[in-house]
Chains A and B, each alone.
Chain A
Amino acid sequence: MTRVALVFAAHAPWRLRRYNYFDVGRNHEYFDREAMSRRIAGLDAGSLEPATALLAAALDRHPRLAFGLALSGPFLDQLALWAPARLPAFRRLVDTGRVEPLAQTSHRSLLWSSSAKELAVQVRAHGERLERHLGRTPRVFGGEDGGDANALSAALGAQGFFGRLDIGADTSDLPADPVASPSPDRDAILPLRVNLTTLGRSRVADSLAQLGRWIDAASASSDVRFVTPSEAIQAVGPEPPAPSSRPAPNELQRDARAALATLQTPRPDAEDPETVEDYRRLTGSDHFDAMALPRGGGAPATPPFDSPYEAYMAFRHAIADLELRFGGASPRRASALRIPA
């Protein structure tokens, strides 16, 4: 018997725009909403609509099919803004009782960037979001690299979470034959993470049809049992928090973190909610990933930036503006931004 913990994951980053020095103190829009809304619309038509339809049909056909849903906060927020019609489709999947949404931080934050208290706030906020959109409160945390494992464990424990499921990286190809896939230990769980946002993107018909055939074959086999994330954790016991898989931060990322850390964690009672929301969006790990400097001198581009340097500058300027909004900075931009060598 192979126990398969299938998880469908989706994330959409808050994309910084080219926010420059002269925007600081003048323009509080840090994000490229137009590009994000275009991307969500494309994602919805190309991936989400056919994928949710396929999964709903598969759940109808196969009463033993069960899986987890790791939908990030930024993804759900953008869906609510620009493709709200898709949310009920996800909710219908959860309503079957065989689809379990997973907890995450509300903003895909790198957890070092905030206090344990902020972490707890973010995990709770995502739980509330899932309750609101999908009608279910999560019991298992997963689908996100926690960064600081100890802080994460403490926060999860304090909030009465059942456990944390390490679902690893996206599966690029599902095993051709689930029954024959290697299962060294009869009690082991085969975790499979499928990225909903790339599904159906490259080889549209191909990848979706392949997923459908795979689910049919696995469901028909008496040697395969699908388990939800909760069942997986029940079966193997809670996993110790995995160490972060992130490489050590480079100089730009360290400085960006430090800049974020110098901001006081906002007090929602004292600050304007939009400012607090912008702060949380800036804690997202995507902004730091865009500053990664690869070996060999190259510089991959994360839209809309040409290089990690552009991502760093936009981020630093946005933080400087946020500092002004929090009321902590000197009125002169140059002195607010200057860092000693």
Chain B
Amino acid sequence: MRVLMFGWEFPPQISGGLGVACEGLVRGLLQSGAEVVLVLPRYPHRKSSGRLRILEALADPADATRPPADALHVRRIETALRPYGPPANAEPVGDTATPAREAAAALYGPNLASEVLRYAGRAAAIARRERFDVIHAHDWMTFPAGLEARRVSGRPLVVHVHATEYDRAGEGGNPFVREIEREGVSRADRVIAVSRYTANRLAREYGVPRRRLRVVHNAIDGGRPQRRGPAEGDSPLVLFAGRVTWQKGPEYFVEAAARVAREMPEARFAVAGSGDRLPSLRERVRQLGLQRNILFTGFLPAAELDRLYRRADVYVMPSFSEPFGLTALEALRHGTPVIVSRGAGVSEVVRNVLAVDFGDIEDLASKILSVILFAPLRTTLSRRGGREVERLSWRRSAERVMSVYAELTRRPEAPPPP
């Protein structure tokens, strides 16, 4: 199976779960015997390895490729688009956040709308040149490229939805992004959702028929959970890791932290990540007088984040809407108990987590305190959650994706001989 894949993020250039998921899936596909040509806007790193080749669509800033005239039936709006929340020109949030700001700027450019359309324009040329059986496009930024590649090649298109504009912004999302998203999921031959939660959303919001929807859960590789836990005498540590955007509910984390700190003044909280809500969040922490309790680490490289997971007593993901929530799997892999918003996609694959209703600060604070106070709860969540995560693998998820490809590329049966 030869796959022409359109992505936007790929390690080491990532700003969130999309890049991690894209890499995991590519690795799984390669293990399953697929050949992958991965098209990224820019990728100043090693570009081929075995059956994987990486092409840069927008490496040349002077590239004059015009956006396709007919690939999209959407209005073109010049606007500061936010791929996953923070605009590239987010205000500085402290020294540690600078790399993240730069990463986001490098990935998403000053004007994402024209980048997305320029990328789609290059997709046609690439699709004419390359040999492939199926096209796979990750999230709205690459949907126009996927549609364009299908137009010139006639090959089937699979779009993969990691998050919708509704998850990112609720009712107040960007109409341009919504329109691209609607166009992509409506015209694709198959739509892969990262959870049943997301599949339901696509059916409800965009009217995607169930017969074209498939659910393939994200996964994680990496073997047995590592031993973790605070050392004797350490203060309890509660961790939030992710984009500091409206979608991820960081405000609720801080409000719950205030409730917890009133009961347990020695408790510490870490916010690992950056995003447009960071300045207001810092201000709220000052108002609450929690500067000594809450640490803002900024965006952390994987190894440093792993150290935090191992050290934390509990990991909290209080998202408004969580299509999947890969960081919950990362926390569980380190044996860290997890509290997620009820209904988060990740709870479809791991059940040994605690759930809270979005915005229920008292319940969230109560559960944080319970995990800290009740050692048997902590160890049971850690052990059983860790075991659940061990059973997941990107190879298995990739095999599900391969079967979706097979639905589209299977040759019609030869007519019986006369």
Point out residues on A near B: beta carbons under 8 Å. 18, 20-22, 250-252, 254-255, 293, 297-299, 306-307, 309-310, 312-313, 316-317, 332-334, 337-341
B352 touches A334 (CB 8 A): no
B352 touches A299 (CB 8 A): yes
B373 touches A334 (CB 8 A): yes
Chain B residues near A22 (CB-CB < 8 A): 259, 362, 365-366
Q: How far is the CB of A320 from chain B (nearest CB, A)?
A: 9
B380 touches A251 (CB 8 A): yes
A21 touches B351 (CB 8 A): no
Chain B residues near A337 (CB-CB < 8 A): 369, 373-374
Closest 9 CB pairs of A and B: A20-B366, A21-B366, A255-B376, A341-B375, A251-B376, A337-B373, A313-B370, A297-B388, A21-B369
Nearest A residue to B263, CB-CB:
A334
| B264 interface contact, C-beta 8 A | yes
| B379 interface contact, C-beta 8 A | yes
Chain A residues near B26 (CB-CB < 8 A): none
Kindly state the separation between the CA atoms of A171 and B362 in the bound complex, as whole angstroms.
44
Kindly state the separation between the CA atoms of A338 and B369 in the bound complex, as whole angstroms.
10
Question: Of A306, A312, A334, A340, which is within 8 A of B369 by CB?
Answer: A334
One digit per residue, 1 when the CB lies within 8 angstroms of any chain A CB and 0 when it does not, for chain B 281-308 equals 0000000000000000000000000000
B354 touches A309 (CB 8 A): yes
Kindly state the separation between the CA atoms of A34 and B376 in the bound complex, as whole angstroms.
31
A339 touches B375 (CB 8 A): yes
Q: How far is the CB of B67 from chain A (nearest CB, A)?
A: 47
B377 touches A306 (CB 8 A): no
One digit per residue, 1 when the CB lies within 8 angstroms of any chain A CB and 0 when it does not, for chain B 359-399 equals 00011011101100111111111001001100100000000
B370 touches A316 (CB 8 A): yes
Nearest B residue to A299, CB-CB:
B351
Question: Of A18, A20, A298, A309, which is within 8 A of B377 by CB?
Answer: A309
| B355 interface contact, C-beta 8 A | yes
Nearest B residue to A298, CB-CB:
B351
Q: How far is the CB of B262 from chain A (nearest CB, A)?
A: 10
The size bracket of the interface on B is: 20 to 34
Point out residues on B near A: beta carbons under 8 Å. 229, 259, 263-264, 342, 350-352, 354-355, 362-363, 365-367, 369-370, 373-381, 384, 387-388, 391
A306 touches B355 (CB 8 A): yes
Chain B residues near A316 (CB-CB < 8 A): 370, 374
Interface-central residue, A293, A332, A341, by most chain B CB under 10 Å: A341
Chain B residues near A339 (CB-CB < 8 A): 373-376
Q: How far is the CB of B220 from chain A (nearest CB, A)?
A: 15
| Interface CB pairs A-B, < 8 A, 8 | A20-B362, A22-B366, A297-B384, A309-B354, A309-B377, A312-B374, A312-B377, A334-B263
15 more contacts with CB within 8 A, not counting A307-B355, A312-B374, are A21-B369, A22-B259, A250-B380, A251-B379, A251-B380, A252-B377, A254-B376, A297-B351, A297-B352, A313-B366, A313-B367, A317-B370, A332-B263, A339-B374, A341-B375
Chain A residues near B384 (CB-CB < 8 A): 293, 297
A297-B351, A298-B351, A334-B264 known; A340 vs B366 contact (CB < 8 Å): no
Chain B residues near A310 (CB-CB < 8 A): 354
A293 touches B380 (CB 8 A): yes
Chain A residues near B387 (CB-CB < 8 A): 297
Kindly state the separation between the CA atoms of A21 and B373 in the bound complex, as whole angstroms.
10
Kindly state the separation between the CA atoms of A165 and B102 in the bound complex, as whole angstroms.
75
Chain B residues near A251 (CB-CB < 8 A): 376, 379-380
Q: How far is the CB of A334 from chain B (nearest CB, A)?
A: 5
Chain A residues near B374 (CB-CB < 8 A): 255, 312-313, 316, 337, 339
Kindly state the separation between the CA atoms of A12 and B214 in the bound complex, as whole angstroms.
42
Kindly state the separation between the CA atoms of A338 and B264 in the bound complex, as whole angstroms.
11
Q: How far is the CB of A246 from chain B (nearest CB, A)?
A: 18
Q: How far is the CB of B148 from chain A (nearest CB, A)?
A: 43
Kindly state the separation between the CA atoms of A297 and B370 in the bound complex, as whole angstroms.
21
Nearest B residue to A251, CB-CB:
B376
Kindly state the separation between the CA atoms of A313 and B339 in the bound complex, as whole angstroms.
14
Kindly state the separation between the CA atoms of A117 and B365 in the bound complex, as whole angstroms.
40
Chain B residues near A297 (CB-CB < 8 A): 350-352, 384, 387-388, 391
Chain A residues near B342 (CB-CB < 8 A): 306
Q: How far is the CB of B218 from chain A (nearest CB, A)?
A: 17
Q: How far is the CB of B18 from chain A (nearest CB, A)?
A: 27
A307 touches B377 (CB 8 A): no
Q: How far is the CB of A255 from chain B (nearest CB, A)?
A: 4
